[in-house]
């Protein structure tokens, strides 16, 4: 399948929804205000392309299984047009790559430097990073590190890096990190006069993603 056909508006909207949480065709059709038949057709194409996977789960009401679709893996669709040639491809991305890519897409030179430093410092222990967010207004980098003792040297190295660049580092637990993201989103939604830039979520691990979905589902 040609890559461009995977990212038409209808398929892209489905991917945006499923990236937030697994969804059934019925949930997608209701959320996107389109027919279940159209959603099923688009989802099938995305599944064939290897972007989505299907799981059968029982429903509380009837006990009958329903299909839930989720991302099969983390991917980035990249297009490069440069002197070395024009290239495009669907690239599997791990947490470190997503951190760098998301910092590029934010178009913030300070953030790019912080992301590069973080990926370099934690190059051997990136699995220890549960989440990363950047506050451009206050020049704060937020990290979730579960095992602070084993990553102590890396944390201190990042503190040195942020201080050299007139930034600050805060190491948070998962609960506080999720609350921070929710507070930022709420501030932006409730205050039209708020001129601060929202906190930017750069990368989270699968456990953190589940915690965020559970928090939103309450």
Beta carbons within 8 Å of 12's beta carbon, 6+ residues apart: none
Note whether residue 83 is domain-resident.
no
Residue found under tokens 């704060």: 140
Tell me the pLDDT tens digit for each residue of 97-121.
999 999 999 888 888 988 999 999 9
- Distance (Å, rounded) from C-alpha 101 to C-alpha 93? 9
Note whether residue 69 is domain-resident.
yes
Note whether residue 122 is domain-resident.
yes
| Of the listed ranges 15-24, 38-47, 172-181, 183-192, the one predicted with least confidence | 183-192
Are residue 208 and residue 106 in the same domain, yes or no?
yes
pTM for the full model? 0.79
Tell me the pLDDT tens digit for each residue of 37-86.
999 999 999 999 899 999 988 777 666 778 899 999 999 989 899 999 99
Are residue 167 and residue 135 in the same domain, yes or no?
yes
Q: CA dist 159 to 28, 78, 142, Å?
A: 43, 32, 11
Note whether residue 149 is domain-resident.
yes
Which is more confidently placed, 5 or 97?
97
Residue found under tokens 């995977």: 6
Burial class (CB in 10 A: 0-12, 13-18, 19+), 154: buried
What per-residue confidence (pLDDT) applies to 130? 92
Are residue 121 and residue 168 in the same domain, yes or no?
yes
Nearest Cα residue to 90 out of 17, 1, 20: 1
Residue 44's domain comprises: 3-75
Are residue 202 and residue 139 in the same domain, yes or no?
yes
Nearest Cα residue to 98 out of 58, 133, 136, 150: 133
- Of the residues 45, 75, 105, which one is the last residue of a structural domain? 75
- Distance (Å, rounded) from C-alpha 91 to C-alpha 76? 5
Note whether residue 71 is domain-resident.
yes
Note whether residue 81 is domain-resident.
no
Q: How many domains does the chain have?
A: 2
Are residue 103 and residue 56 in the same domain, yes or no?
no
- Distance (Å, rounded) from C-alpha 195 to C-alpha 206? 32
- CA dihedral 170→173→175→180, nearest 10 degrees, is 10
């Amino acid at each position: 399948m040609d890559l461009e056909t995977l990212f038409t508006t209808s398929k892209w909207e489905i991917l945006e929804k499923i990236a937030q949480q697994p969804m059934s065709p019925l949930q997608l059709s209701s959320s996107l205000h389109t027919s279940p038949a159209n959603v099923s057709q688009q989802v099938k194409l995305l599944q064939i392309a290897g972007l989505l996977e299907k799981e059968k789960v029982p429903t509380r009401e009837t006990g009958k299984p329903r299909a839930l679709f989720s991302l099969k893996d983390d991917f980035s669709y990249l297009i490069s047009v440069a002197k070395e040639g024009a290239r495009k491809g669907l690239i599997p991305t791990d947490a470190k790559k997503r951190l760098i890519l998301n910092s590029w897409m934010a178009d913030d030179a300070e953030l790019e430097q912080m992301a590069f430093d973080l990926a370099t410092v934690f190059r051997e222990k990136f699995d220890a990073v549960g989440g990363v967010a950047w506050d451009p207004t206050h020049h704060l980098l937020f990290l979730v590190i579960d095992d602070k003792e084993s990553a102590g040297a890396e944390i201190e190295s990042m503190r040195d890096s942020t201080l050299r660049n007139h930034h600050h580092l805060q190491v948070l637990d998962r609960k506080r990190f999720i609350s921070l993201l929710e507070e930022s989103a709420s501030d932006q939604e409730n205050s039209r006069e708020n001129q601060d830039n929202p906190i930017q979520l750069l990368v989270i691990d699968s456990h953190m993603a589940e915690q965020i979905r559970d928090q939103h589902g309450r």
